[in-house]
Structure 1
Amino acid sequence: MEKRWQMAMKLTISKVTGRARLGVITSLGQSGEKTLEVPGCLLYTRTASPPHLTHDTLQSIAGVPPVTHVTLSTLAEHQEVLEEYKDGIRKFAGLSDTLLYCSINDPVTLNPPGYNTTKTVSVWGSGGRLELTPQKFISLQRALRVDWMQCLSDGEAMADGCSRKRAKKSVDRSLAFLDECLKLMSEDEVLKETVVIGAIEGGDVQEERLRSARETAKRSVGGFLLDGFQGSSVSPENKMALMAAVTAELPEDKPRFIHGIGRPDEVLDYIEQGVDLFDSTFPYEVTERGCALCFTHQYQPDPETAGEPQRPVRDKEELCNGEEKNEESEDPEIDRSKITSYEICLKEKRFREDFRPLLPGCTCYCCRHHSRAYVHHLLTSKELLAGILLMIHNFQLYFSFFCSVRQAMSDGKFQDLKQMIRGQAS
């Protein structure tokens, strides 16, 4: 039987700037010596494995978070296998000294709305739709044996905006699920010490969001998931106002999670409203597009270039052989609708003879050993190595971005970093 780890979630806040919180969660891991700094992110996995990577290649990445993110929707269909195995998903997947956090859904995949009821929540895996009652949910968690888990909740309300009636129903259902799950866990020897992350629901109706926050905070939860803010039709300004109102209602000593928010500029906006922990799905989505993250987060100027204006990494001067990019005429088969200004698409023909690293100055394995031209060749040849190298680079740059965020907050330079990141979005 798997040895139970220290799972207490002890958050200590060292500095607050506006609503942005700098702190650390301590007493993590098998030894209890690991820490998770906030603001921070979790290590994203698919079916409990880092995308494109083996555990050996993962070790080559600097700054890997000590908490790994697994998703119930990708693991639910393996319940019988895990129940027979008996030692949980950590050992089954070969995960080392890491804590496991389990969310209901994979943030990369938005579920179709309209399937949740007062008794069940639906998740979609490779085998199709699975309906989860609180009893089924708890039996799945017993098989997985994670350390932190998002509680069952009705998180559909904000997908395309919602009525006040639907928002109220979302909150009522989620609180009922939370109460039932807490009751079942208290009677379960395997799960009674697992940390529950309560979901804050209510769509875009502020009154219901606040009710969800207040009521969830009264329960025995170790943290809060601010659910449903990704992929909705609500304007960014209204989202920020709603987020500010909700976080003001939450206790200061428990972390706030959010899913599906990953662009560097958006991350900084949500940190500014009091969010602590993010997933790392954004680097994965960038990799799947055949792109490399290519932005700078070094907010402290080099003494040799002090006084020179900061410019985005992706400048026309950076293009191969000085060739200007014509996105309308070149490579029409590339879907640019989701490509952000923080990445370069290495499928583009302009990189065929670009022998620089993906990002000059980056210390990841890919940038130290390979060029843009080589990764372009791998992508056009549909070689699996392309995904591996891009994932190594994108993960490491993303993890180091959060290090810079924390350092900037410590130095009182958060606004300088935010201005730099926003400058690269133009």
Structure 2
Amino acid sequence: MLDFTLCKSAGSLAPRLGRLSLAGRKTINTPDFLGNTSRGAVPHISQDNYRSRTTLGGVYVALEDFVEKHPQKIPPILQFPGASPLRRFIALPNDALLVLGARRSPPTQTPMSNTNSSLAIQTSVGFKQITSEYYGSATRKLEPDIVVALADIPFGQTPVGSKRKDKMSDRTENWVRDIIAKRDSLDKSEQKWAIFAPFLPIDRDLQSWYLEHLVDEMKDKIQGIAVCDAFLMDDLPEDLAHLPRLSFHAPKSPQEILRQVSLGMDLFTIPFVNEATDAGIALDFEFPPLSSSPTDAPPETQTSGRKSLGIDMWTSSHSTSLTPLSTGCPCYACTNHYRAYIQHLLNAKEMLGWVLIQLHNHSVLSSFFASIRASIERGTFESDIAAFEAFYEPKLPEKTGQGPRVRGYQYGAEEHGKGGRKNEKGFRRGLGAAEGEEEKVKVYAAHGQQPNKNPGVQDVIDDEAITGLVDVEGVEKVEDLKFEDDERKA
């Protein structure tokens, strides 16, 4: 079973060191972070690179990534045979901790509302509701190491009235009981998962009944707490302080991570690392800062007298730079490639560019957490935070370049009802010989696709389509074929 040991703690609302262990899985020294996945994979990092190029101890996976909207259609993930189907389906290493939740981190606002027995989620093709029983059955089938119990949180709906908050508490308590009952019903031969109970983002008075029941009736049946609002940690009962805390209060910057660690947070899901990578921003910070002054940093990384938290790789100054993303960084990108090459990849829309930045960003974050643990061990954490906040900008740089294709769940619910393209076309119109005159860019496909001679007709002809439709005897290559449209134009 999951074991969490507090190695150093000065109280329930103070930075602490811990060790999270489970038989057959990597031991995770806390504070630390989990890989935040999309469709079961850390964005831009393939499974082989996950094994060889990262130090992640585990990942967080959302069930809504795999659920279908069609009510009579069983998702492929739930039809996958054998033991540990979710782990094998996403090719996760056997020693990585697998945490399952219902919704992504951060979740997308849904136009559907939760009910007393169901939670609204976003599937790959629309929104639907899943019942607590469905969630329990899916967990039983998928066999994660840790499951986060359902929480009734109306994301994006503000303000939330007091009656609605009462419902949040009552529904969440019932759903925690449901997942506990489902685990208790497992046979001895089935894998039992650890349960993290939600700590809701409402005042303690409004969830006091739920918290009392957690302490009095379910304390021995849960193995952790899923915290939705880190700044309400002082409302967490002392009887639950020994449990590991997983934060779903998504930090926007390293400074916010430090504030949550100072309140006693143990594990994190950190969406901004993926957002920075998509924006072409290479993280560049260390804790505590080694330089005595921000002016010691390169000029391009300084803004308003403080050093930037990241490097915008779309900036033209990197086009001829023969330096790594970060000097001294041990990641694969920094030890094998220069900034000029990575910027070239971004400009060419080569996905390898984002892969290298993502590997670098995860390495920076791993080093950041290792330094946090060392700082807590030394007893200098508070002074190190002050030095970090004085040295670095309070937020990450703004996105300036075009990122990779945006996935549907990266838009709010209101965006899904709008028409038009969510991503720009891969090929655009360019300026012709005369200023302001546009000419259409001719794009030829790899298999003999013909240029569109008639704007009203789309010619999509490849080698296999040509064979059997025309007499190809004596023709050595596709380019030698003559088409009727070509002859008319000539």
Which TM bucket (shorter chain)?
Answer: 0.7 to 0.9
Identity of aligned residues (%): 24
Contact 1:102 1:148 (C-alpha < 8 Å) held by counterparts: yes
- Tell me the secondary structure at the aligned position of residue 356 of structure 1: coil
Select 1:403's aligned residue among 355, 358, 370: 370
1:298, distance to aligned residue in structure 2 (A): 4.0
1:166, distance to aligned residue in structure 2 (A): 1.4
Structure 1 pair 79–420 and aligned structure 2 pair: CA distance change class (3 A): farther
1:13-66 per-residue CA deviation (whole Å, 9 max, x = no partner) reads 121235234333344242x6x31111111122222212111222223435x232
Structure 1 pair 69–160 and aligned structure 2 pair: CA distance change class (3 A): same
How far apart, in 2, do the equivalents of 1:386 and 1:364 lie?
14
Letter in 2 for 1:91: R
Alignment of 1:19-418 (within 5 A): 19-30=13-24, 34-62=26-54, 64-77=55-68, 79-87=75-83, 88-96=85-93, 97-112=95-110, 115-156=113-154, 160-189=158-187, 193-201=192-200, 203-217=201-215, 218-219=217-218, 220-227=221-228, 229=229, 240=231, 242-246=232-236, 248-259=237-248, 260-261=250-251, 263-298=253-288, 301=290, 309-311=292-294, 315=297, 317-319=298-300, 341-418=308-385
How far apart, in 2, do the equivalents of 1:25 and 1:79 lie?
35
1:107, distance to aligned residue in structure 2 (A): 0.9
Contact 2:288 2:388 (C-alpha < 8 Å) held by counterparts: no
How far apart, in 1, do the equivalents of 2:131 and 2:383 lie?
47
Structure 1 pair 177–346 and aligned structure 2 pair: CA distance change class (3 A): same
How far apart, in 1, do the equivalents of 2:252 and 2:41 lie?
20
How far apart, in 2, do the equivalents of 1:285 and 1:191 lie?
38
Letter in 2 for 1:375: I
1:211, distance to aligned residue in structure 2 (A): 4.3
How far apart, in 2, do the equivalents of 1:42 and 1:68 lie?
5
- Tell me the secondary structure at the aligned position of residue 20 of structure 1: coil
How far apart, in 2, do the equivalents of 1:82 and 1:391 lie?
30
Structure 1 pair 292–367 and aligned structure 2 pair: CA distance change class (3 A): same
Aligned to 1:335: none
Contact 1:151 1:197 (C-alpha < 8 Å) held by counterparts: yes
Runs (5+) with no aligned partner, structure 1: 1-7, 230-238, 302-307, 327-339
1:346-380 per-residue CA deviation (whole Å, 9 max, x = no partner) reads 12223222332111221111111112222221111
- Tell me the secondary structure at the aligned position of residue 225 of structure 1: strand
Structure 1 pair 363–157 and aligned structure 2 pair: CA distance change class (3 A): closer
How far apart, in 1, do the equivalents of 2:331 and 2:87 lie?
27
Instruction: Tell me the TM-score normalised to structure 1 length.
Output: 0.81
Aligned length: 378
1:73, distance to aligned residue in structure 2 (A): 1.4
Q: Name which one, 1 or 2, has greater alpha-carbon Rg.
A: 2
Runs (5+) with no aligned partner, structure 2: 69-73, 395-490
1:164-195 per-residue CA deviation (whole Å, 9 max, x = no partner) reads 22111101110011112222221133767211
Contact 2:36 2:105 (C-alpha < 8 Å) held by counterparts: no
Does 1 or 2 have the higher relative contact order (CA < 8 Å, sep 6+)? 1
How far apart, in 2, do the equivalents of 1:42 and 1:79 lie?
25
Aligned to 1:5: none
- Tell me the secondary structure at the aligned position of residue 222 of structure 2: coil
